[in-house]
Amino acid sequence: MPSLNINATPMSLTINGQTLETRLDPETPLLSFLRNDLALNGPKYGCGLGQCGSCTVLVDGQAARSCVIPLEGVQGRAITTLEGLGTLAEPHLIQQAFITEQAAQCGYCLNGMIMMTASLLARTLSPSEQEIRSELSSNFCRCGTHVEIIRAVKRAAQLMREAKHPQVGKHGT
């Protein structure tokens, strides 16, 4: 049940390809709505300041920090969460690459790493290692799986090139 309050405003949001009509405070952070009202728990609450990357989603195909974006800022835009890229039965090629490379330890940063990878590979399917490092540099991983994450991004790019599948997700571009 969506959270209602006195400042609630009718809103139309498109999340993972589905248009939702709801009444919410327009200043509600996108992350709160995704996790609390829609049970989309791919994006994580990390710092709450948009600095750690664990809350990253795609907004019109571009990586964005959902903890600092108010709902009013995403009306009429396509929002893709980790759940919108693929499923357990049919993971996206990026998700499959992260699984194959065992690019997770605790998994808390994984959402942000995968979504940043999706944003990067939407722009180029042949990123250099420096481009990969630069793209992921604002996402914090405290477990030290950086080597595996970089390998996973390289594998994802290769898989997507081989599949001639430049789209990052069903709903992300």
- The CATH T-level fold of domain 86-163 is DNA polymerase; domain 1 (1.10.150)
Using DSSP, state whether 135 is helix, strand or coil.
helix
Looking at residue 106, its pLDDT comes to 84
Q: Residue 23 to residues 26, 53, 119: CA-CA distances in angstroms?
A: 9, 27, 30
Q: Give domain limits for the chain.
A: 9-84, 86-163
CATH number corresponding to 9-84: 3.10.20.30
DSSP symbols for 53-97? -TTEEEETTEEEETTS-BGGGSTTSEEE-HHHH--SSS--HHHHH
Strand order in the sheet with 78-80: 18-24, 9-15, 78-80, 56-59, 62-65
**Phi and psi, residue 119, nearest 5°:** -65, -45
Looking at residue 53, its pLDDT comes to 95
Looking at residue 168, its pLDDT comes to 57
Query: Can you give the pLDDT of all 173 residues of the chain as single tens digits?
Result: 555 567 789 999 999 999 999 899 999 999 999 999 999 999 999 999 999 999 999 999 999 999 999 999 999 999 999 999 999 999 999 999 999 999 988 888 999 999 999 999 999 999 999 999 999 999 988 887 789 999 999 999 999 999 975 555 544 44
Residue type at 48?
G
